């Protein structure tokens, strides 16, 4: 214990705060993992919600409609930064809308073929995170967030509208604009998201369609320039802190067309114990079409200004000494054909069956290394030469599942890539969930895992730009992951543990280029979620423990804590409020360095980051259909008196006041 106190001087104190004092409510349908909702607060807040709105999102390759409640909860409303809605601890650049990476290894997001977008996924949601609706009255939501001071403001406005044209057909649209100037120089980041969506739920035929447009524009400061900095950044105005770049900029653009349709096959008649008959299809045939265009641009218009120093940020210039204009465009077309047999139709084995075949075609355009000239030639004219590459992959697979029942649910799947770029890849996955009575309590075990064999994506093996280039011969990545745990909703407790065994793991060196590990790297994790109730006081805790067998490649904080402590009550029988604070903390570790040219987080072994508590005070209140929060971010600035970095060379924002409001309209 003495050794732990010396290594993490604030850890013991914070653990006492957290555990001196989780609750989750399973939505209708198949049970979900994680998420903490106080049932008492949920009951209070849903009393004014119209019952005629149904919302769902698509899972299992768009074959399962997972129903969820419309978001009207007061609890957690003050957590408006998307990255903290996904993970309790994140390495990020100190400002909203900028690159991030979860410190919790199991929470890290990775979408194959989206290398330059993976550090920004929370701000540019895809189809698997959007919702479709069915409502008897028009539904409108308007949300506004603001944080000062005005000259360094953080602002977001979001509007969503949906209504049914008839009983089966729904249409809707949403738009959000988020802009954050940041407290430090060259931090400004903006995100535009527009969605148009529709769905039709007929007797035999159904479809869901969407068009998604997202654009992210951010300045890339390169972090603090410690060599040029005069004085400690804690002691001077944040806007005066010197950064490596002031004009470097990144633009990410995503456009997507999505259409998923299904047609019921055959029918069966089921009779329950009360002699009520229900007609259901024997199976359903699905077809999904997706077209997606992703574009990344990284530019430095006045490159020569950053090479008048002895230690430039980028040691190499490969093409153009005057400016950087890296650009990558990827157009992808995907078709999925599936057939699903419902478990009700399988009277012998009592499980459902799904089979599918997918085809992906991706068209790449990216910079090519010049071969006719070098930048040392006197007659060299700087130019960017592009090359085109087309990759095709076909896979087939299947899944068996049991989603019905009150006590036990499970699924198991297999996907084999047999043609094209990813030929030889495979995915074996499984999941189980349960719920049963133990005396007066309800408890349930859950487990999930998978075995994955994955071909490195194109830009992990070769890439050329104005400052970075590589051409690697990597083997397939091999990963085994597993997780299991128990939840006791009546005790508002969840315990879980799991791990990853990874061979040929690809990581990013400090020079911005990728490498592949030789042996097996092990990552193990445990998690405790618990909500304590002391009268009207709620103490919501989430504790993550992690271990990495190779911290030189995968450095992780050993402990990460999120605690939300608040007093809640109702005034005048209509005004529900919560007054409290959020606390986040993670132990010291070699936090990653961020490489702006590629958007990747790379390893560094120069300086540890962490052992600093982040405390935000907040007041939430709800009056009928309106929710409001007032929040004081980083209220503990200056205590303890030490640097407060969110990742290597990137300090977090100083204290600032923020507020937000959200209205729901149902008519």
What contacts 24+ positions apart, CB below 8 Å, involve 6-13? 7/587, 7/588, 8/559, 8/587, 8/588, 8/611, 9/611, 10/585, 10/611, 10/612, 10/613, 10/640, 11/559, 11/585, 11/587, 11/611
Q: Which residues contact 269 (CB under 8 A, 6 or more apart)?
A: 277, 278, 279, 280
3-state class (DSSP) for residue 154? strand
The pLDDT assigned to 43 comes to 43
According to DSSP H, which parts of 152-265 are helical? Answer: none
Q: What residue ranges define each of the domains in the chain, with the CATH number in brackets? A: 2-530+538-665 (2.40.170.20)
Detail the DSSP E strand segments found in 403-536.
408-420, 426-434, 436-438, 441-454, 462-464, 469-471, 477-488, 493-503, 506-508, 514-516, 520-534
The pLDDT assigned to 466 comes to 95
According to DSSP H, which parts of 450-506 are helical? Answer: 458-461
Q: Which residues contact 254 (CB under 8 A, 6 or more apart)?
A: 117, 124, 212, 213, 214, 215, 292, 293, 294, 295
Q: For the purposes of burial, counting CB atoms within 10 Å of the CB of 349, is it exposed (0-12), middle (13-18) or buried (19 or more)?
A: exposed
Give the residues of the chain that fall short of pLDDT 50: 1-39, 41-50, 373
- The pTM score is 0.90
3-state class (DSSP) for residue 17? helix
Residue 653 DSSP one-character state = P
- Cβ–Cβ under 8 Å, residues 454 and 476: yes
**194, 208, 625 from 135: Cα distances, Å:** 21, 15, 17
| Residue 601, number of CB atoms within 10 A of its CB | 23
Q: Which residues contact 643 (CB under 8 A, 6 or more apart)?
A: 232, 233, 234, 612, 651
The pLDDT assigned to 46 comes to 39
Q: For the purposes of burial, counting CB atoms within 10 Å of the CB of 227, is it exposed (0-12), middle (13-18) or buried (19 or more)?
A: exposed
Residue 183 DSSP one-character state = S
**What whole-number distance in Å separates Cα of residue 21 and Cα of residue 197?**
45
E strand or H helix at 210: strand 205-219
The pLDDT assigned to 383 comes to 61
**What whole-number distance in Å separates Cα of residue 331 and Cα of residue 607?**
40
Q: What is the torsional sign of CA 598, 601, 604, 607?
A: positive
| Residue 375, number of CB atoms within 10 A of its CB | 12
DSSP 299-366: EETTGGGGGSSSS-SSS--SS-SS-EEEEEEEEEEEEEEEEEE-GGG-TTT--EEEEEEEEEEEEEEE
The pLDDT assigned to 9 comes to 43
3-state class (DSSP) for residue 122? helix
Q: Which residue has the tokens 């490489």?
A: 595
**What whole-number distance in Å separates Cα of residue 370 and Cα of residue 317?**
13
- Cβ–Cβ under 8 Å, residues 188 and 218: yes
Nearest Cα to Cα of residue 260 among 351, 130, 135? 130
**What whole-number distance in Å separates Cα of residue 592 and Cα of residue 381?**
37
DSSP 392-408: EEEEEEEEEEE--SSSE
Q: For the purposes of burial, counting CB atoms within 10 Å of the CB of 350, is it exposed (0-12), middle (13-18) or buried (19 or more)?
A: exposed
Encoding tokens for residue 15? 């653990």
């Amino acid at each position: 214990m003495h050794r732990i106190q010396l290594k993490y001087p604030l850890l013991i104190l914070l653990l006492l705060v957290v555990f001196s004092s989780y609750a989750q409510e399973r939505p209708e349908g198949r049970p979900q993992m994680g998420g903490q909702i106080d049932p008492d607060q949920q009951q209070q807040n849903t009393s004014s919600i119209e019952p005629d709105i149904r919302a769902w999102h698509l899972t299992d390759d768009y074959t399962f409609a997972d129903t969820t409640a419309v978001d009207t909860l007061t609890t957690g409303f003050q957590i408006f930064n998307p990255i903290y809605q996904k993970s309790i601890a994140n390495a990020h650049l100190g400002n909203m809308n900028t690159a991030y990476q979860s410190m919790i290894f199991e929470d890290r997001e990775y979408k194959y073929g989206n290398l330059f977008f993976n550090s920004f996924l929370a701000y540019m949601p895809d189809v698997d995170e959007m919702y479709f609706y069915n409502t008897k009255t028009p539904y409108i939501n308007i949300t506004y967030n603001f944080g000062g001071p005005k000259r360094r403001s953080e602002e977001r406005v979001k509007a969503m509208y949906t209504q049914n044209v008839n009983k089966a057909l729904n249409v809707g649209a949403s738009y959000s604009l988020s802009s954050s100037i940041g407290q430090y120089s060259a931090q400004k980041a903006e995100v535009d998201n527009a969605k148009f969506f529709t769905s039709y739920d007929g007797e035999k035929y159904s479809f869901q369609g969407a068009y998604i447009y997202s654009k992210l524009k951010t300045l890339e400061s390169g972090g603090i320039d410690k060599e040029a900095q005069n004085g400690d950044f804690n002691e001077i105005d944040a806007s005066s802190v010197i950064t490596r770049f002031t004009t470097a900029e990144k633009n990410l653009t995503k456009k997507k067309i999505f259409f998923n349709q299904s047609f019921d096959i055959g029918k069966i008649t089921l009779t329950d114990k009360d002699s009520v008959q229900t007609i259901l299809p024997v199976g359903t045939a699905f077809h999904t079409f997706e077209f997606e265009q992703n574009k990344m641009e990284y530019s430095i218009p006045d490159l020569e200004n950053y090479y008048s120093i002895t230690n430039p940020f980028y040691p190499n210039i490969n093409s153009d000494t005057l400016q950087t204009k890296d650009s990558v465009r990827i157009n992808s077309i995907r078709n999925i054909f599936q057939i699903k047999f419902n478990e009700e139709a399988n009277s012998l084995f009592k499980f459902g069956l799904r089979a599918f075949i997918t085809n992906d075609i991706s068209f790449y355009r990216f910079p090519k290394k010049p071969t006719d000239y070098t930048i040392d030639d006197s007659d060299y004219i700087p130019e960017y030469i592009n090359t085109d590459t087309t990759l095709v992959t076909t896979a087939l697979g299947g899944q068996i599942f049991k989603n019905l029942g009150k006590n036990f649910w499970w699924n198991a799947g297999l996907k084999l890539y047999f043609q094209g770029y990813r030929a030889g890849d495979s995915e074996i996955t499984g999941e189980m969930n349960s719920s049963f009575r133990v005396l007066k309590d309800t408890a349930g075990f859950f487990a999930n895992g998978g075995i994955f064999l994955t071909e490195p994506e194109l830009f992990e093996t070769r890439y050329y730009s104005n400052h970075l280039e590589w051409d690697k011969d990597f083997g397939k990545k091999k990963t085994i992951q597993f997780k299991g745990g128990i939840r006791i909703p009546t005790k508002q407790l969840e315990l879980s543990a799991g791990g990853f065994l990874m061979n040929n793991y690809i990581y990013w060196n400090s020079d911005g280029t990728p490498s592949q590990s030789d042996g097996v790297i092990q990552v193990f994790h445990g998690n405790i979620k618990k909500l304590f109730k002391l009268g009207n006081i709620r103490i919501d805790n989430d504790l993550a423990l992690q271990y990495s067998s190779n911290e030189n490649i995968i450095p992780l904080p050993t402990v990460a804590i999120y605690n939300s402590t608040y007093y809640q009550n109702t005034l005048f029988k209509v005004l529900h409020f919560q007054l409290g604070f959020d606390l986040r903390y993670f132990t010291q570790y070699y936090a990653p360095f961020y490489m702006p040219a590629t958007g990747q987080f790379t390893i560094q072994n120069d300086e540890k980051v962490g052992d600093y508590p982040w405390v935000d005070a907040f007041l939430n209140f709800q009056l009928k259909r309106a929710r409001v929060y007032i929040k004081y971010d980083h209220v503990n600035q200056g205590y303890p008196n030490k640097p407060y970095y969110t990742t290597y060379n990137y300090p977090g924002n100083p204290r600032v006041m923020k507020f937000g409001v959200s209205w729901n309209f149902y008519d």
